[in-house]
A and B are shown apart, each in its own frame.
Chain A
Amino acid sequence: SAVISQKPSRDICQRGTSLTIQCQVDSQVTMMFWYRQQPGQSLTLIATANQGSEATYESGFVIDKFPISRPNLTFSTLTVSNMSPEDSSIYLCSVVRVWETNYGYTFGSGTRLTVV
């Protein structure tokens, strides 16, 4: 299955600042997905990132707050802008993979963000 390198793994940031999270995939993929997760809870989709076009954002998430870049088929970044304590969460990137009789997401290891 695919390997996704995500960094940073964790960070503590001051409110009002921005953090950029990077995901590098070991092969080319059309779509990358960015999720947010509160510890121990389910995942909420932030946006879908296609190479060469604007990301598609889910309800409640806007580009000014969560700008996404997708410069090529193996890399994407998510920026959390003008952070507040409410942005404290785990952020995950993922891609779809097909192998043997299964298909689903492969995830990065996540970025645990704490805003103080």
Chain B
Amino acid sequence: TQLLEQSPQFLSIQEGENLTVYCNSSSVFSSLQWYRQEPGEGPVLLVTVVTGGEVKKLKRLTFQFGDARKDSSLHITAAQPGDTGLYLCAGDPRRNTGNQFYFGTGTSLTVIP
């Protein structure tokens, strides 16, 4: 089992605030994915980071992969109520798209209007 610990577990913020979610492991991953899940739906892939140190942006969301490929962060600027959901990171232990991915412990975000 390759554990991915996310922090914080719960986050409740006001609209317009910034926040960062962390995903940490002692294992090295060939890539790391971030998902957002809304109630009653399956998780939806936001981004995949592959290269150590890589930074990807998706509108107000910025994703970074650690240099050692053991950790990642998700930063949201000027959060909006539509950002509310469960955020999950997932690591791919090998560069093979047929593999199982290992999911993080999850971060539940609530953005209050």
Contacts and interface: CB of A to CB of B under 8 A. Distances in A.
A43 B97 contact: no
Given A101-B48, A104-B90, A105-B45, A40 B97 contact: no
Nearest to B88: A42
The contact size tier of chain A is 20 to 34
Interface residues of B, number: 25
Interface string B76-113: 00000000001010100000011111011110100000
Interface of B: 31, 33, 35, 39-45, 47-48, 86, 88, 90, 97-101, 103-106, 108
B100 A40 contact: no
Given A31-B98, A101-B48, A42 B105 contact: yes
Interface in A88-107: 92, 94, 96, 98, 101-107
